[in-house]
Amino acid sequence: MPDTSTARCANALEEALSSVPFYRRWRPIDPGPTRTLSERLTALPVLSKRDLRAHVPHGFARDGCRIGDGFTSGMIELVATSGTAAERVSIVWHQPWWDRSEREAARLHPALDRVFARPHREAVLTSPVCAGNLCHVGRVPMEERTVGGLLFLNQDLDPTTWDGAEVRRMAAEIDRFAAEVIEADPAYLAILARRCRLEGIALRPPEVIVLTYEFPSHVHLRQIARSFPGVPVVSSYGSTETGHVFTRCEEGVFHENTATCHVEVQPLRPGRGDGRLGRILVTTLDNPWFTLVRFDVGDLARRHDGAPCRCGRGRGLALAAIEGRLHDLTFDGEGRAVSVKRVDDALATVADLLGYRVEQSGPRRFLVRFSAEPGCDGAVAAAVPAALAGVYGPDAEIEARREAALAPERSGKFRLARTTFAWDPAELFA
């Protein structure tokens, strides 16, 4: 299918280079409009969170957008993103653009499209520090956590500390609110789903579940599927900076939201990746208040190759998978990058595993902290190293250690894998 998003992105690039202050410094590097869009973009630098911190808000607004007037009139606001200190930035939030990005991304899955075609009620379950300006930490009544059609359920930094009363409260609020959508961090929803099942608390099924905020592990997905049989579970990928970027369709392929962005996947250099794994770089379209070109979101993806997706959507980039955060990479004995997804696919074979975190301390040394169903510790401790030997190599030393519970990081995210030594992400890319 011919694709107008390339032409729209070429226009957006031209506009950024000529009339957005930050990008004027890139103009001398641009090979110019006689070259293809891909060649032009590849020649340019990657936009980092450091760049945002240094130049928000004025650097990324198109000439003629008066930032001061925008704030005064309520057209835009500053929103802080979540994450570690190194990841956190302030961005310029323009609600109409965000709403459009969300609505267009919903068209890429029929269950989402049905619900988003009308006003609907959505219960949000994530870290209370993940929801921009709308988050609530500490006990406040349901009415104060309800903003229009949105209800923010969680009030605690660590969901492994939810007591029975909190679990019952959230289940009761989902029911009372009659949520048609549950939008959740998969780790948080998995914990709620399992607790409700064990304690015999009914969970009202929504029309659709949307998973976002962090990588959905098989250990989370199976808890969610057990508690919500028959409810479609849709993966949505985006960020506070970029809006909604990919939606996983009913055939399991991630489709690009070409209405509001253009995506490149920059492969890892030969010898460090397998040619199809790369980092996600996003160029936003049609947001005059906040223009991003080649923004490095910090996540990895794998291109969908071969035949077009069976769902029939042929527009834009298609991904076979989103594979987790760049900073959560580990490495095999040959120094090749191992994504979170690769680790997670291997551990999907381990029955009764509830949560895990792989910590690599040397080229061949790994500690896997895990939590498991009661009475299954021994079997899980034996199965985990066997499952990961195929990923890290037969000479990898893998120790599995049971933990009572695995808490999230201060950012609110559950980190599934990491190294305990420093490495330079830039070194992975040509």
Residues that bind Zn ion (CB under 5 A): 249, 251, 253, 309, 311, 313
SS3 (DSSP) at 376: coil
Task: Give 70 or 216: the residue with its C-beta nearer to Zn ion.
Answer: 216
Task: Give 12 or 253: the residue with its C-beta nearer to Zn ion.
Answer: 253
Please report how close the Cβ of residue 313 comes to Zn ion at its closest, in angstroms. Answer: 5
CB-based contact 212:238 (threshold 8 Å): yes
Distance linking the first and last C-alpha atoms of the chain: 31
Cis ω on the peptide bond leading into residue 57 (within 30° of 0)?
A: yes
Task: Give 108 or 346: the residue with its C-beta nearer to Zn ion.
Answer: 108
Please report how close the Cβ of residue 276 comes to Zn ion at its closest, in angstroms. Answer: 18
Contacts of 139 (CB under 8 A, 6+ apart): 155
**Residue 233 in tokens:** 């579970």
Separation of alpha carbons 91 and 81, rounded Å: 7
Please report how close the Cβ of residue 261 comes to Zn ion at its closest, in angstroms. Answer: 17
Separation of alpha carbons 5 and 264, rounded Å: 13
The Cα-based distances of 311 to 187, 231, 248, 253, 255 in angstroms read: 28, 19, 11, 9, 10
CB-based contact 292:60 (threshold 8 Å): yes
Separation of alpha carbons 49 and 53, rounded Å: 6
Task: Give 151 or 253: the residue with its C-beta nearer to Zn ion.
Answer: 253
Please report how close the Cβ of residue 251 comes to Zn ion at its closest, in angstroms. Answer: 4
CA angle centred on 294, ends 410 and 267, rounded to 5° = 85
Q: Which residue, 355, 366, 358, is CA-closest to 223?
A: 355
Count of Cβ atoms closer than 10 Å to residue 260 Cβ: 26
Backbone torsion region of residue 63, taken as left when φ is above 0, otherwise alpha when ψ lies between -120 and 50, otherwise beta: beta
Separation of alpha carbons 223 and 201, rounded Å: 15
Task: Give 120 or 315: the residue with its C-beta nearer to Zn ion.
Answer: 315
Task: Give 100 or 313: the residue with its C-beta nearer to Zn ion.
Answer: 313
CA atoms lying within 13 Å on the CB side of residue 417: 27
Please report how close the Cβ of residue 116 comes to Zn ion at its closest, in angstroms. Answer: 17
SS3 (DSSP) at 367: strand
Please report how close the Cβ of residue 234 comes to Zn ion at its closest, in angstroms. Answer: 12
Please report how close the Cβ of residue 189 comes to Zn ion at its closest, in angstroms. Answer: 24
Please report how close the Cβ of residue 315 comes to Zn ion at its closest, in angstroms. Answer: 10
Task: Give 192 or 317: the residue with its C-beta nearer to Zn ion.
Answer: 317
Residue type, 184: A
Kindly state the greatest CA–CA separation across the chain. 66
Task: Give 162 or 254: the residue with its C-beta nearer to Zn ion.
Answer: 254
Please report how close the Cβ of residue 311 comes to Zn ion at its closest, in angstroms. Answer: 3
Task: Give 153 or 280: the residue with its C-beta nearer to Zn ion.
Answer: 280
Task: Give 119 or 306: the residue with its C-beta nearer to Zn ion.
Answer: 306
Please report how close the Cβ of residue 249 comes to Zn ion at its closest, in angstroms. Answer: 3
Backbone torsion region of residue 294, taken as left when φ is above 0, otherwise alpha when ψ lies between -120 and 50, otherwise beta: left
